[in-house]
Amino acid sequence: MNAVAPKDLTVEHWPVREDGLPATLVAALARNAAESGSRIAFREREHGIWREWSWRQALHEVISLAAGLEARGLKAGDALTVVGDNRASIYFAMLAANALGAFPSPVYPDVPVDEFGNYMRFGDPRIALAEDQEQVDKLLDLRDRTGRPETILFDDPRGMGAYGDKGIVSIAELRAEGAQILAERTGLAAELVNRATGENIAVLLYSSGTTGLPKGIPLKHRNVVGGIKNAEAGQYFQRHEELFAYLPTAWVGDFIFTLGAGVLLVATINIPERQETALHDLREVAPTFYLAAPRAWDNMLTRVQVGMADSTNLKRRLFDYFMPKAIELERKRLAGEPIGLGERLRDWLGEILVYGPIKDFLGLSRAERAFTGGEAMGEETFLFFRGLGIKLKQFYGQTETCALSAAQVEGSVKLHTVGKAMPGVEVKIADDGEILLRSASVIDGYADDAEASAKAIVDGWLRTGDAGHIEPDGHLVVLGRVSEVVRTAQGERFIPNFIENRIKFSSFVRNVAVIGAGREELTAIVCIDYEAVGHWAERRSITYGSYAELSQKPQVLDLVAGVIAHVNQAQPEGLRVRRFVNLHKDFDADDGEITRTRKLRRGVIEESYAKLIEALYSGEARVTFDAAITYEDGTRGVLSRELEIREVPS
Amino acid sequence: MALLSLNNIEVVYDRVFLAVKGVSIEVPENGLVALLGANGAGKSTILKSISGLLKPERGEVTRGQVTFEGEDILALDPPERVRRGLVHVLEGRRVFEHLTPEENLLAATSMHADRRRVKSLVEEMFGLFPRLAERNRAKAGYLSGGEQQMLAIARALMTRPKLILLDEPSLGLAPFLVDEIFDTIRRINTESGTAVLLVEQNAVAALDVAQSAYLIEQGRIVMSGTAEVLKANPDIQQAYLGGGSNVDYHAVKHYRRRKRWLA
Q: What is the pLDDT of residues A396-415, one digit of tens each?
A: 999 999 999 999 988 888 88
Is there a domain that residue A67 lies in?
A: yes
Burial A158-193 (b: 16+ CB within 10 A, else e): ebbeeeeeeebbbbeebbebbbebbeeeeebbbebb
Which is higher by pLDDT, B48 or B192?
B48
Q: What is the pLDDT of residues A301-339, one digit of tens each?
A: 988 988 888 888 999 999 999 999 999 999 999 988 999
Contact between B125 and B105 (Cβ < 8 Å): yes
Question: Do A494 and A458 belong together in one domain?
Answer: no
Is there a domain that residue A8 lies in?
A: no
Domain encompassing residue A180: 25-291
Q: What is the pLDDT of residues A138-189, one digit of tens each?
A: 999 999 999 989 999 999 998 888 887 778 999 999 999 999 999 999 899 9
pLDDT band at A359 (very low <50, low <70, confident <90, very high): very high
**Nearest C-alpha neighbor of A284 from the set A91, A44, A89:** A44
Give A332's contacts (C-beta < 8 A, 6+ positions apart). A339, A343
Cis check for the bond before A149: say yes or no (omega within 30 of 0).
Answer: yes
- Residue B15 near chain A (CB below 8 Å): no
The chain A residue lying nearest B258, using CA atoms, is A632
Q: What is the pLDDT of residues A596-632, one digit of tens each?
A: 878 889 989 999 899 999 999 998 889 988 877 766 6
Domain count, chain A: 4
Return the pLDDT at A1: 43
Is there a domain that residue A181 lies in?
A: yes
Q: What is the pLDDT of residues A187-243, one digit of tens each?
A: 999 999 999 999 999 999 999 877 778 999 999 999 999 999 999 999 999 999 999
pLDDT for A633 beyond 80: no
Contact between B76 and B49 (Cβ < 8 Å): no
pLDDT for A2 beyond 60: no
Name chain B contacts of A552, Cβ cutoff 8 Å.
Answer: none
Return the pLDDT at A112: 87
Name the residue among A159, A633, A639 with its Cβ closest to that of B262. Answer: A639
Burial B64-93 (b: 16+ CB within 10 A, else e): bbbbbeeeebeebebeebbebbbbbbbbeb
SS3 per residue for chain B: CCCEEEEEEEEEECCCEEEEEEEEEEECCCCEEEEEECCCCCHHHHHHHHHCCCHHHCEEEEEEEEEECCEECCCCCHHHHHHCCEEEECCCCCCCCCCCHHHHHHHCCCCCCCHHHHHHHHHHHHHHCHHHHHCCCCCHHHCCHHHHHHHHHHHHHCCCCCEEEEECCCCCCCHHHHHHHHHHHHHHHHHCCCEEEEEECCHHHHHHHCCEEEEEECCEEEEEEEHHHHHHCHHHHHHCCCCCCCCCCCCCCCCCCCCCCCC
How far is Cα A613 from Cα A629, in angstroms, rounded to an integer?
18
Question: Do A591 and A637 belong together in one domain?
Answer: yes
What average pLDDT is seen over chain A? Answer: 91
pLDDT band at B115 (very low <50, low <70, confident <90, very high): confident
Indicate the residue among A291, A317, A339 that finishes a domain: A291
Of the segments A416-420, B144-148, B195-199, which one has the largest average pLDDT value?
A: B195-199
Domain boundaries, chain B: 4-95+161-239
Is there a domain that residue A211 lies in?
A: yes
Return the pLDDT at A370: 93
Q: What is the pLDDT of residues A482-523, one digit of tens each?
A: 888 888 998 888 889 889 988 988 889 999 999 999 999 999
Is there a domain that residue A6 lies in?
A: no
How far is Cα A61 from Cα A601, in angstroms, rounded to an integer?
41
pLDDT band at A385 (very low <50, low <70, confident <90, very high): very high
Return the pLDDT at B263: 57
Question: Do A59 and A85 belong together in one domain?
Answer: yes
**Nearest C-alpha neighbor of A243 from the set A396, A91, A37:** A91
pLDDT for B1 beyond 80: no
pLDDT for B247 beyond 80: no
Name the residue among A132, A534, A546 with its Cβ closest to that of B224. Answer: A546
Return the pLDDT at A166: 79
What average pLDDT is seen over chain B? Answer: 87
- Residue B257 near chain A (CB below 8 Å): yes
Name chain A contacts of B5, Cβ cutoff 8 Å.
Answer: 543
Return the pLDDT at A458: 92
Which is higher by pLDDT, B256 or A565?
A565
Q: Which residues does residue A513 pair with via DSSP β-bridges, in sequence order?
A: A525
pLDDT for A77 beyond 90: yes
pLDDT for A544 beyond 70: yes
Question: Do A379 and A419 belong together in one domain?
Answer: no
Question: Do A68 and A198 belong together in one domain?
Answer: yes
pTM of the full structure: 0.83
Question: Do A176 and A225 belong together in one domain?
Answer: yes
Return the pLDDT at A71: 95
| ipTM value | 0.71
Q: Are strands B17-27 and B4-13 parallel, antiparallel or unpaired?
A: antiparallel
Indicate the residue among A396, A424, A456 that finishes a domain: A396
Is there a domain that residue A550 lies in?
A: yes
Return the pLDDT at B241: 67
Name chain A contacts of B64, Cβ cutoff 8 Å.
Answer: 541
Considering only the C-alpha atoms of chain B, give the largest distance between any 2 of them, rounded to a whole number of Å.
Answer: 62
How far is Cα A64 from Cα A100, in angstroms, rounded to an integer?
12
pLDDT for B74 beyond 90: yes
Tell me the average pLDDT across A255-260.
96
State the first-to-last Cα distance of chain B, in angstroms, to the nearest integer: 23
Tell me the average pLDDT across A351-365.
95
Q: How far is B258 from chain A (nearest CA, A)?
A: 8
pLDDT band at B229 (very low <50, low <70, confident <90, very high): confident
**Is B255 close to A546, i.e. CB distance below 8 A?**
no
pLDDT band at B40 (very low <50, low <70, confident <90, very high): confident
Q: What is the pLDDT of residues A106-118, one digit of tens each?
A: 999 988 888 899 9
- Residue A531 near chain B (CB below 8 Å): no
Question: Do A539 and A614 belong together in one domain?
Answer: yes
**If DSSP codes are grouped into helix, strand and coil, which group holds residue A20?**
coil
**Nearest C-alpha neighbor of A517 from the set A492, A481, A483, A480:** A492
Let me know if domain B4-95+161-239 sits in CATH 3.40.50.300: yes
